A and B are shown apart, each in its own frame.
Chain A
């Protein structure tokens, strides 16, 4: 093998001298040129050359996690908060397979991420070498795209391509597999990082079709019972302002999906709450009875629609989405608009303002009266007189003390639904949870990723004693990097959501949903060098929260013992329409 290649004529002509870099140095340099500040990862044999290159510069900072899954969730959460791709570096074999859950989590929620995985030397691939795994094969169904490096000189282009694919169109994770011999420190190549690239086979749409937008506006203006249904696409598409302006202009009721919380301010009177399986009574009723649904960056997920055959029988559906495959996938769309939500909403707004026509105000008035009546039916009620702490109360208090402005990173289960229902998200990119894949163990690393990048913000991890133990080793990483996350551990001694289903469908046979031998979380937090506070009564909560949030730079683990019998309501009745709901243990619609 040649140790060096000569710069080509074009580079020699340019005034800048061509830099000669090793493959390993090119990886890091390309990340720096892409503007990457943090790289989350874990070293190992196949990526040691890259780690050595990382050591010899100071532009890209590395965060050493305790398990690769946490690296992916940190990068993912950074992307959810900032809109920019997070970057992960892991070694081959077990390093790569440990990252799989995090890649799948990002994929299901359309989160941009670039995952660099080490690979054994090219000539060993296919021979069952030490720490060899076919990462391209494993990750293929759970990422937007994956690629492998075949020639070291291609590294800058491939890294640019990875960011380009991850961050454009419908975002998603991209995996780049790098065999170790592509990063040899003693072989250098001309480095050139492309400013932008264009792929003939991948040209995602930007603007929506003007004819379709006209049709949508006409349908919307003819509505008597409209609703705006906004999802995660509004968050990742940065279209929260346009969405809010549109809703205000037409006085539309707005519901957000689990992924869309914060797209429309929760404190606003036009907000009817989250919809779906654990959506508010009024949101699900408003959807069900609507005559026009404007769906923006939402995908009619099964946790939203309930039985698709009974879904919103009277509605004309307008659907704005960047991904044509999301349109008419589960629910037939009458007016599809393919494009980025932000420019499409801008075009709709312009057209609406130009028309100066409003909706039938009498009909809209009646519609709002009906919605106000629905609001009185459930209203997110729970027993506020109970001696035991209620999880809903805890979340409400956290929402108050942080003024609805914290980044709330959730794990998965009952606590996630309580956080979604009771925290008042008034800004986009603040609610960070694994919606599509439902990954337990997501919360703590996610909170870490946000806190690292937004050190002055309040960052809360809402979790349970089940989820937190799936990545609790990261308390060590928090200590190393001084990540002052506030952990709200809603501890009920059960895998709460599993238990709820067992209560409702299995005559309370708690098959493996009881957590025996829980650790003393306070002592555990202290063992890792953090602050632990136990809360067992409603009276203790307020002072504990005040103390925790006053300790700005410290990680505080609040182990909050809550009523183990509490269920999440409303809950859609399986097989029913959107508005078929259980409202409590004894009531249903």
Chain B
């Protein structure tokens, strides 16, 4: 099953390498990963999408906890949460296709953020599923480049992952 794991870790050199290394050493999957400093510059927030059975996910959580720089770990997909991923897609768009691509982007609430006579670059935010669906919906439109941030997530309501 797919899980979104949020990690609060010390913003120190080597901390990220240690965390990524853990996944490689122990054979856990990483579907996507993103990381950046938080409002507190000494802390980084990392969101990791992985999949595995319950036992594997439990071990991932425990092993992450064991890393000295890891402050907190939470599987946010265990409860109500919001998930967002950013995607930038550069497509060939000329002639009739230009209108078609724009319509499609509108339907998905995407924005065209760069334009040339032959291309559009579309920005889209949503769940990873929604981004997948948009790529499908582009159909025969030639895709030149796709950049995805990997999912970020946050718990709904008053629940937080903070110090």
Residues of A within 8 A of B25 (CB): 141
User: Number of contacting residues on B, CB 8 A?
Assistant: 20
Q: Is the CB of B18 within 8 A of A328?
A: no
Interface residue B66 (Cβ < 8 Å from any Cβ of A)? yes
Report A358 CB to chain B, min CB distance, Å: 36
**How many angstroms from the CA of A136 to the CA of B69 in the assembled complex?**
15
Residues of A within 8 A of B68 (CB): 144-145, 165, 199, 201-202
Q: Is the CB of B65 within 8 A of A324?
A: yes
**How many angstroms from the CA of A99 to the CA of B124 in the assembled complex?**
51
- Using A140-B18, A145-B68, A146-B14 as known contacts, say yes or no to A325 and B63 having CB atoms under 8 A apart: yes
Interface residue A200 (Cβ < 8 Å from any Cβ of B)? yes
Q: CB-nearest residue of chain A relative to B12?
A: A147
**How many angstroms from the CA of A42 to the CA of B35 in the assembled complex?**
40
**How many angstroms from the CA of A170 to the CA of B67 in the assembled complex?**
12
Report B55 CB to chain A, min CB distance, Å: 7
Cβ proximity bits B151-163 to A, threshold 8 Å, 1 near / 0 not: 0000000000001
Q: Is the CB of B59 within 8 A of A201?
A: no
Report B42 CB to chain A, min CB distance, Å: 9
Report A572 CB to chain B, min CB distance, Å: 24
Interface residue B71 (Cβ < 8 Å from any Cβ of A)? yes
Interface residue B62 (Cβ < 8 Å from any Cβ of A)? yes
**How many angstroms from the CA of A137 to the CA of B24 in the assembled complex?**
13
Within 8 A of A (CB), among B8-43: 9-10, 13-14, 17-18, 21, 25
User: Number of contacting residues on A, CB 8 A?
Assistant: 20
Residues of B within 8 A of A200 (CB): 71, 163
Q: Is the CB of A201 within 8 A of B62?
A: no
Residues of B within 8 A of A165 (CB): 68
Q: Which of B10, B59, B70, B163 contacts A325 (CB 8 A)?
A: B59
Within 8 A of A (CB), among B47-92: 55, 58-59, 62-63, 65-66, 68-71
Residues of A within 8 A of B71 (CB): 200-201
Within 8 A of B (CB), among A319-341: 323-325, 328-329
**How many angstroms from the CA of A325 to the CA of B13 in the assembled complex?**
25
**How many angstroms from the CA of A146 to the CA of B18 in the assembled complex?**
10
Residues of B within 8 A of A140 (CB): 14, 17-18, 21
**How many angstroms from the CA of A140 to the CA of B14 in the assembled complex?**
9
**How many angstroms from the CA of A165 to the CA of B10 in the assembled complex?**
16
Q: Which of B9, B66, B69 contacts A323 (CB 8 A)?
A: B66
**How many angstroms from the CA of A147 to the CA of B69 in the assembled complex?**
11
Q: CB-nearest residue of chain B relative to A201?
A: B71
Report B139 CB to chain A, min CB distance, Å: 45
**How many angstroms from the CA of A201 to the CA of B163 in the assembled complex?**
10
Q: CB-nearest residue of chain A relative to B62?
A: A325
Report A203 CB to chain B, min CB distance, Å: 10
Residues of B within 8 A of A323 (CB): 66
Residues of A within 8 A of B66 (CB): 170, 323, 325
**Most A C-beta atoms less than 10 A away, residue of B9, B17, B62, B69:** B62
**How many angstroms from the CA of A388 to the CA of B146 in the assembled complex?**
74
Q: Is the CB of A328 within 8 A of B58?
A: yes
**How many angstroms from the CA of A325 to the CA of B10 in the assembled complex?**
21
Residues of B within 8 A of A329 (CB): 59
Q: CB-nearest residue of chain B relative to A199?
A: B68
Report A434 CB to chain B, min CB distance, Å: 20
Q: Is the CB of A141 within 8 A of B21?
A: yes
Residues of A within 8 A of B65 (CB): 324-325
29 A/B residue pairs, CB under 8 Å, sorted by A: A136-B14, A137-B17, A140-B17, A140-B18, A140-B21, A141-B21, A141-B25, A144-B68, A145-B68, A146-B14, A147-B14, A148-B14, A170-B66, A200-B71, A200-B163, A201-B10, A201-B68, A201-B71, A202-B68, A323-B66, A324-B62, A324-B65, A325-B59, A325-B62, A325-B63, A325-B66, A328-B55, A328-B58, A329-B59
Q: Which B residues contact A (CB, under 8 angstroms)? A: 9-10, 13-14, 17-18, 21, 25, 55, 58-59, 62-63, 65-66, 68-71, 163
Minimum-distance CB pairs A-B, first 9? A325-B62, A201-B71, A145-B68, A141-B25, A202-B68, A324-B62, A140-B21, A325-B63, A201-B10
Query: Contacts A148-B13, A201-B9 given; 5 further ones with Cβ under 8 A?
Result: A145-B68, A170-B66, A199-B68, A201-B68, A325-B63
